[in-house]
Structure 1
Amino acid sequence: MFDKISDTLQKYLMPIANKISSNNILQSIKDAFLISLPFTMLGSIFLALVNLPFLNDLIGADAVASLQAFQAPLQNVCFNLITIIIVFGIGYSLGKRYELKPAFTAATAFICFMIATPIITIKDTNYYLIGNFGQTSIFTGLIIAVVSTLIYRTVIRKNWVIRMPESVPEMVTDSFNSLIPACISVLFFFIIMVIMSKTSYGTLNALIYAFVQTPITALAGNLVSFIFAGLLCNLFWFFGLHGNNLVYNSVLSPIFKSLSLQNLAAFNAGKAIPNLLSEEFAFYFGGFNGSFIAYPVLICIFVFFRKRKELKELGKVALIPGIFSIYEPLVFGMPLMLNPIYLIPMLLTPVIDTLIAVAFMATGLCGYCTGVSVPWTCPMIISGMITTNSIMGGVVQLVQIVVTTALWYVFMKVAIKAEDQKKKDLVTEGDNSNE
């Protein structure tokens, strides 16, 4: 049955995959996130280490606080400057794909992004806020990098460049050739910056962020909107954007935190817990956590596809972060990002997980989340038992893992078949060219 499903999916998804793989813009975005991977990996490892479950009990709250403060500069660099890396990466990769001078397109993209980034003035001194270069500005940086490079390319194609004699050194020639396209790109975003400063939004980033937030803000604590939020969260992850920050942390967190506090108050008073949906449900049963994809994918890698050397090597790197709910190595390393074969399981995973948990809790087989919070890095099964104050919470998560592992097995098999076929086609083309 699985083989039949795999063949059908391959038939309909591969044309879409091929189209995406030939799109310069999408591939440049993918390249940029791969460039950022070593830094997000480093930050993720340290983040997991200082947020280990029950670390407070082992070394004390003061020691944990000291460790977290000690590694805070590392977090600032690896996570809060991620947009700058991505802007450079897109500018470089897209410039290279368009056969431009990638160093100049990358620098132009960076300057355009900095022009559009607000400055604050304190005692006659101008400052950039480091938070403006983090996760909340990725979407803005992505748009600016693509648009600035397209403007650059358009100017070059129209031949609006300064020509230098052949005797001039190449680097000098490249600098003068890039002068007009770079200036036009920067001036374009300078005008955008001036226009935005006259609006209620103030900045381009605020405008884009508001348009991302507006449809999400309408979401409330009901099952339909909760499932939609889970879909939206993973859709952002598919494009390499931090879905949790864009969907949950920025808007939904206050809503579900208040529901959790109501549950905690009822639990402490010995009363019936009122809310099925809460912050703990979202993170430990509803799919708003990297574990819900990391666990089934890692199981597939080490159990069903252990003979695939490239997957096994990736699995070794992603295993420890994945256990503690950090699945960026899989998003950017497999990659799940911008791979249409994996879009369907990424969207279905939070839906399936939510429905399984609701089925158990609504029927009374498992209690609601009590409002007791655990670190988001807490491994599955353990987090389920603690947040529901029952062994059944761990059982629910185990069922979720089993069902979603079957789902991911089907689609990973499709992806592997497609990769093998691609390699065979390349070998065939090579043999034909030698004849």
Structure 2
Amino acid sequence: MNSTQNGFMAKFQALLEKYVVPVATKISQQKHLAAVRDGLTVLVPVTIIGGFAILLAQPPVSASMQPTNILFQFLCTWRDWAAANIGVLLTPYNLTIGAIAVYVTLGVAYQLCKTYKMDPISNLISTLLVFLCVSGVPQGFVSGEATVNAIPLTNLGASGMFTAILVAISVVEINHFFVKKNIVIKMPASVPPNVAAPFHLLIPAVVNVVLFIGLNMLSSQLFGADIPGLIYALFQPLISATGSLPSILLINVLMTTFWFFGVHGANMVGVVTGPLTLVGLTANATAYAAGKDLPYIFAGAVNSVYGGWISYFAVVVVILLFCKSSQARSIAKIASVPAFFNINEPLIFGLPTVLNPFTLITFLICNNLNFTIVYFLMESNFLGKFFVSMPFTVPGPLQAWLSSMDPKSILVWAALLVLDVIIALPFIKAYDKQLLATENVEEMSAE
């Protein structure tokens, strides 16, 4: 880069480091937002189990398919077996994704307890109790000739997630306040800690239960909806707004910019996007199980699968096929296998892409163009939306297919990879030329 470019980049870097990065860092490290982010992260195994359960119970096979060949015979056998055992097969789904808010409550409460160094078990039990008091109120159902009480899943699924987050934070904060002010039941020193701990939080637990039951009754009287219904109605516009194309493109720009400075972009914006993509994923899974149209595009890992995971791999492909710099090629060879499994840190810090304007421009163009194309393909129902969560190391094309059960997603992923290679080629070649010049100077100096 010439001196003018160096001067611009230095000013741009100083500007972001002064005004943007500190604010984003504070947001990502804010204890409640961090508890939400980390609390949702531990739910990944739960969503994976639920996702595979719904795939088994609802195979992507039409009712009209006939066993005319070996593949169709397998699919038709799967379809008939699933129909005969759908009650059993949907049990893991109903108790994971169908009741995801329960796990959100526990995950967020646990992470916030760790921050305050409070006893986790007692806090988790009291938090779950309070959440069930407002979202899991038992109702009477007729079963045969008897009436039984059962907890409906209505407010325990995606629609109850925001209630779960707010209840978890509120209950732990109230517990922490009582403990800090020493408004607790103290047991004699001779009582073992595991016996004394539950009594230690008994007073705040009673306060929380009475408070939230009262608020639930008040909400029903004033607004005609309980707390979960009211909170979901308030957050619904936010979900819709954040799932719009301009919002997602802005998120991509922010993530790419943070990575440019070596700051983990996903962690920075994940405190905001994590709950929204999980809500979208669970709502889509619920719709899929009911045989309805999937409502959300911004769901699960869709932004990563069709965004950065393609563009990073495209840079590796460009370097291996078209570049001559020994530095770039050696890093690309090392990074190629991890990048195929969506692990991009070797490329980020080895090439590096940090403070590299050539890769910054590449990623800004590719990530946003990729998702714009995918957004319109999904909006037109040409491409299936995500409703299954996969481990993040599942390769991109396979993850795109398994997350949506749409085989066209593999072709779209491959086409976007080719497009990204074409876009990245001139920028990475320019960077390669710069690296070659540096390597030639070093070789001459060594001689």
TM-score bucket of the superposed structures, by smaller chain: 0.5 to 0.7
Q: TM-score, normalised by structure 1?
A: 0.59
CA 1:169–1:371 in structure 2 vs 1: closer, same or farther (change >3 Å)? closer
Question: Contact 2:50 / 2:96 at 8 angstroms: preserved in 1?
Answer: yes
Q: Report if aligned partners of 1:161, 1:177 keep a CA contact under 8 Å in 2.
A: yes
1:66 lines up with 2:73 in the alignment: no
Displacement of 1:67: 3.3
For 1:106, the aligned partner's letter is L
In structure 2, the residue matched to 1:99 is 117
What residue number does 1:415 align with?
Answer: none
Work out whether residues 292 and 401 of structure 1, in 8 Å CA contact, stay in contact via their aligned partners in 2. no
Which letter does structure 1 place at the counterpart of 2:176?
R
Tell me the distance in 2 between the aligned counterparts of 1:229 and 1:145: 28
Structure 1 residue identity aligned to 2:93: Q
Which secondary structure does the structure 1 equivalent of 2:96 belong to? Answer: helix
* 1:135 is aligned to 2:169: no
Pick closer, same or farther for the CA change 1:66–1:354 going to 2, 3 Å.
same
State the alpha-carbon separation in 2 of the partners of residues 238 and 161 from structure 1.
Answer: 35
State the Cα distance separating 1:185 from its structure 2 match: 1.8
Quick check: 1:233–1:246 contact (8 Å CA) kept in 2? no
1:348, CA displacement in angstroms?
9.5
Separation (CA, whole Å) in 2 of partners of 1:236 and 1:65 = 40
8 Å CA contact retained: 1:216, 1:229: no
The root-mean-square deviation of aligned C-alpha atoms, in Å, is 5.3
Q: Shift of residue 49 of structure 1?
A: 6.7
Q: Is the 8 A contact 2:39 2:108 kept in 1?
A: yes
Contact 1:119 1:126 (8 Å CA) reproduced? yes
Q: Distance in 2 between matches of 1:238 and 1:100?
A: 25
User: For residues 45 and 155 of structure 1, do their structure 2 counterparts lie closer, same or farther at Cα, with a shift above 3 Å needed?
Assistant: same
Kindly provide the amino acid, as one letter, of the partner of residue 36 in structure 1.
Answer: L
Which of 215, 231, 243 is matched with 2:277 structurally? 243
CA contact (8 A) 2:307 2:367 kept: no
Check whether the contact 1:88–1:109 (CA below 8 A) recurs between aligned residues.
yes
Identity %: 20
* Equivalent position of 1:419 in the other structure: none
CA offsets, 1:202-255, max 9 Å, x none? Answer: 2111001111224667x8xxxx995357569998884422437559969xx9xx
Contact 2:313 2:340 (C-alpha < 8 Å) held by counterparts: yes
Among residues 298, 316, 322, which one is paired with 2:309 in the alignment?
A: 298
Task: Please state how far the C-alpha of 1:114 moved relative to its aligned partner.
Answer: 0.6
- Counterpart of 2:213 in structure 1 is 190
Whether 1:165 aligns to 2:193 is no
- Which segment is superposed worse, 107-116 or 89-98? 89-98
Deviation, 1:62, is: 6.2
Native 8 Å contact 1:293 1:346 kept in 2 = no
The number of aligned residues is 336
Q: Supply the AA of the counterpart residue of 1:40.
A: T
Deviation, structure 1 residue 144: 0.3
State the shift of 1:71 in Å.
3.0
Which position in structure 2 is the counterpart of 1:125? Answer: 148
**Structure 1 residue corresponding to 2:46, chosen from 39, 64, 72:** 39
Q: Does 1:15 align with 2:22?
A: yes
What is the TM-score normalised by the length of structure 2? 0.57
Question: Do the aligned residues in 1 keep the contact of 2:307 with 2:366 (CA within 8 Å)?
Answer: no
**Relative contact order, higher structure (CA 8 A, sep 6+):** 1
